[in-house]
């Protein structure tokens, strides 16, 4: 998550967070 955050910014990380929340 850290590497993707530094590459893409906060937007892709928030998308990943939404995906994780949907899995929960």
Output DSSP code: residue 9.
Answer: -
pLDDT of residue 23: 77
Predicted confidence (pLDDT) at residue 2 exceeds the cutoff of 60: no
Per-residue pLDDT at 19: 84
- The token pair that represents 18 in the structure block: 């939404």
pLDDT at 22 over 70: yes
Predicted pLDDT of residue 15: 80
Question: Residue 8 — pLDDT band, cuts 50, 70, 90?
Answer: low
Q: Which residues neighbour 1 within 8 Å (Cβ) at sequence distance 6 or greater?
A: 13, 16
What pLDDT, on a 0 to 100 scale, did the predictor assign at position 14? 78
DSSP state of 24: -
Q: Over the Cα atoms of the chain, what is R_g?
A: 9
């Amino acid at each position: 998550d850290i590497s993707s955050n530094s590459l893409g910014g906060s937007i892709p990380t928030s998308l990943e967070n939404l995906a994780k929340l949907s899995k929960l």
